[in-house]
Amino acid sequence: MGRGGTRYAPGSMSWTPEQVLALAPDPSAAKAGRELGAERRWTNLGRSESALWGECKGSAAQPYRTSIDLGEPAFKCSCPSRKFPCKHGLGLFLIYAARPASLAEGKAPDWVEAWLADRHARAEKAAKPRAPARPVDPARAAAQAAQRAGRRTARASQGVDELNLWVHDMLREGLAELPRRPQAFWATIAAHMVDAQVPGLARMVGELSSIPNSGQGWPDRMLARLGRLQLLLEAARRLESLEQGLQAEVRAALGFTESKEDVLAGGELVHDEWLVTGRFVSADDRLKVQRTWLRGTSTRRWCLVLDFAAGPQPLDQSLITGTKFEGEVRFYSGSRPVRGLVGARQQMSTLDSLGGDGSVQESLRAYAGMLAASPFFDRAPISPDGVLPHRDDSGWYLVDSSGEALRIAGGPACWRIQAMSGGRRLAVFGEWDGVRLTPLSALADGEFANLQWIRP
């Protein structure tokens, strides 16, 4: 069982190829999975109510044995790939999604049964209450926690002051020199922010470093980003004077985090039917970060579920774009909480809406409301309905029936949206940064497109 901790009834939804490809860890795995989504590449294809299996000939002497637990889903393959799911798991699942009759119904082979039994045994063990921890003196533990928090707050305060001075010095010297600055100019101060335990500030400095060489209009973009950074620095320096919800927003932007245990124990609880509208994954050599967006159909609440994976560790794939489920969400602290954790959930099925905001103007008003409650949003979810893609010399846009337009990030995703549209109006979901929309999914006449891996 994955980190989502939920098993669905195996036959509770019909999978589409689009939903299967949304599970791919990267574009190359998705491409390789498509190539293996043909029966001629497989032998001993089969399925039961709870599992799929098959054997795929590879470079090894023996075929790779691949199995899928439909209750989550979860994957197992004997190939040496460090990707999860691997291309064999994706290929097998694609065959099932497109042509389920190609997999003969029957009893699972012993190697599949053994894997399923081991998974279920581990899940049952994990669900059992743990033995009580060694007694801890509550007063002593609280004092130690307060000391640790005090030390981190002091380091963070020093980091805020250092970055504030750095920004002022940079502005005093002028922006014209920034395109000629070496990478060390940015990397040094970012490293200082890491040392000060304010990773949020380190990330913002990293984003600044790419602006001076980003093309025409970069000074305006730089000033806008510096303004947002300065707002956060001033808020951090006056943290104690802010109301409690905004304090939580500032601390989160700096990089302070609440523990999952605290959120699950005391976070705001919201029960709804949740649409899994889109996902964005960023990665470097050491860490993968996954942002999955949900929207409540009744509450109209947005929920951002973050997941992190180091090195080859797989990301949690249990929230599948293009689906919906009944379930509970616990929200982190904030003046208008957005980040959350998914608890118990059930009845997963294919979504038929992106929970749209309406016209372009209505979408921007929704964004303005989010920004007013939490001015530290750098990417906000919006979902305009009834729009058409349009391209001119200045780039790509989504245009609604009134002629209002949203600029969207160019690239293959735009061509996919245009192909889906075919002159029809459609719904698009994405992340808006105040300048342009990065599209993450689209829906037209019941056809859902996951744009997660279609990147410029």
**pLDDT score at 452:** 74
Q: Do both 45 and 63 map to the same domain?
A: yes
Q: Do both 71 and 92 map to the same domain?
A: yes
Tokens of 456: 């410029």
CATH number at residue 383: 2.40.50
**pLDDT score at 186:** 97
Number of domains in the chain: 4
pLDDT in tens, 63-96: 999 999 998 889 999 999 988 899 999 999 999 9
Tokens of 229: 């950074």
The answer to whether residue 136 is domain-embedded is no
Q: Do both 317 and 370 map to the same domain?
A: no
**pLDDT score at 129:** 66
Q: Do both 172 and 108 map to the same domain?
A: no
The model's pTM is 0.81
**pLDDT score at 263:** 93
**pLDDT score at 4:** 44
What lies within 8 Å, CB to CB, of 40 at 6+ separation is none
Q: Do both 246 and 263 map to the same domain?
A: no
The answer to whether residue 133 is domain-embedded is no
Domain-terminating residue out of 299, 327, 350 = 350
Distance CA 242, CA 248 (A): 10
**pLDDT score at 309:** 86
pLDDT in tens, 385-404: 999 999 999 899 999 999 99
Q: Do both 371 and 429 map to the same domain?
A: yes
**pLDDT score at 347:** 74
The answer to whether residue 131 is domain-embedded is no
The answer to whether residue 437 is domain-embedded is yes
Domain-terminating residue out of 253, 284, 315 = 253
Domain-terminating residue out of 126, 142, 177 = 126
Q: Do both 248 and 263 map to the same domain?
A: no
Q: Do both 289 and 317 map to the same domain?
A: yes
The residue ranges of the chain whose pLDDT is under 50 are 1-5, 454-456
The answer to whether residue 53 is domain-embedded is yes
Domain that holds residue 396: 360-450
Q: Do both 70 and 98 map to the same domain?
A: yes
The answer to whether residue 86 is domain-embedded is yes
Q: Do both 327 and 292 map to the same domain?
A: yes
Q: Do both 162 and 207 map to the same domain?
A: yes
Q: Do both 243 and 284 map to the same domain?
A: no
